[in-house]
Structure 1
Amino acid sequence: MRRLRNTIYVTSESAWLRKDGANLVVEVEGAERGRAPLHLLDGVVSFGRAGASPALLAACAEAGITLSYLDPNGRFLARIEGPRTGNVLLRRAQFRAGDDPARATVIVRGIVAAKAANQRNVIRRALRDHGESLPPDAVAGLAAAEARLTDIARRTFVAAHVVALRGLEGEAAQVYFGVFGALVRVDDPAFRFGGRSRRPPLDRLNALLSFLYALLGHDCRSALEAHGLDPQVSASCTPTGRAARASRST
Structure 2
Amino acid sequence: MKKLLNTLYVTNSDAYLKREGLNIVISVDNKRIGRYPIHILRQIICFNYMGISPALMKLCMENNVSVTFYDPFGRFCGRVVGKSYGNIYTRKKQYKLSESIDSIDFVKNIIYAKAYNCRKLLIRGKLDHKDKIDLPRVEKVINRIKELMLQIPLAKTKDEIRGIEGKIASEYFSVFDELIIKNREEFYFNGRNKRPPLDMVNAMLSFLYSILTNEIASALEGVGIDSYAGFFHTDRPGRVSMALDIIEEMRAFMVDKFVLSLINLNRIDETKFEIKENGATLLNEKGRNLILSYWNERSHEEIYHPFLEEKVQIGLLAHVQAQLLNSYIRGDIESYPPYMRK
Q: Give the TM-score normalised by structure 1.
A: 0.64
Q: Which of 221, 238, 250 is matched with 2:232 structurally?
A: 238
Q: Which of 157, 168, 174 is matched with 2:170 structurally?
A: 174
Amino acid at match of 1:134: K
In the other structure, the counterpart of 2:98 is 98
Deviations 1:120-174 (A, max 9, x none): 000111111221x124xx1111101100111111111001100011111111110
In the other structure, the counterpart of 1:128 is 127
In the other structure, the counterpart of 1:194 is 190
Unaligned runs of 5+ in 2: 1-5, 17-44, 50-66, 241-342
Q: Call closer, same or farther: CA 1:233–1:84 in 2, change over 3 Å.
A: farther
| Equivalent residues of 1:114, 1:153 under 8 A apart | no
Shift of 1:241: 7.4
Q: Which of 134, 138, 152 is matched with 1:142 structurally?
A: 138
SS at match of 2:195: coil
Q: Call closer, same or farther: CA 1:145–1:42 in 2, change over 3 Å.
A: farther
Aligned residues: 188
- Correspondence list, 1:39-118, <5 A: 40-41=46-47, 64-65=68-69, 81-82=77-78, 87=86, 88-101=88-101, 103-118=102-117
Shift of 1:65: 3.7
> Within 2, Cα distance between the matches of 1:154 and 1:239?
22
SS at match of 1:115: helix
Q: Call closer, same or farther: CA 1:186–1:141 in 2, change over 3 Å.
A: same
SS at match of 1:151: helix
Q: Call closer, same or farther: CA 1:134–1:5 in 2, change over 3 Å.
A: farther
Q: Which of 196, 201, 208 is matched with 1:205 structurally?
A: 201
Deviations 1:162-193 (A, max 9, x none): 00111111111100110000011113422111
Q: Call closer, same or farther: CA 1:42–1:208 in 2, change over 3 Å.
A: farther
Percentage identity across paired residues of the two chains = 29
1:2 aligns with 2:7: yes
| Equivalent residues of 1:169, 1:239 under 8 A apart | no
> Within 2, Cα distance between the matches of 1:184 and 1:220?
27
In the other structure, the counterpart of 1:12 is none
- Correspondence list, 1:20-31, <5 A: none
Amino acid at match of 1:105: I
Unaligned runs of 5+ in 1: 9-19, 23-38, 44-62, 68-78
Amino acid at match of 1:3: L
In the other structure, the counterpart of 1:224 is 220
The structure where helix makes up a greater share of residues is 1
> Within 1, Cα distance between the matches of 2:12 and 2:202?
23
Shift of 1:3: 3.5
> Within 2, Cα distance between the matches of 1:129 and 1:194?
22
> Within 2, Cα distance between the matches of 1:7 and 1:232?
30
Deviations 1:67-121 (A, max 9, x none): 7xxxxxxxxxxx87547965211111111111211x1211111111100111000
Deviates more, 1:88-97 or 1:170-179: 88-97
Amino acid at match of 1:146: I
Q: Which of 152, 159, 167 is matched with 1:163 structurally?
A: 159
Shift of 1:7: 11
Over the aligned positions, Cα root-mean-square deviation in angstroms equals: 3.5
Amino acid at match of 1:184: I
In the other structure, the counterpart of 1:16 is none
Amino acid at match of 1:238: F
> Within 2, Cα distance between the matches of 1:91 and 1:84?
17
| Equivalent residues of 1:162, 1:239 under 8 A apart | no
Q: Call closer, same or farther: CA 1:99–1:196 in 2, change over 3 Å.
A: same
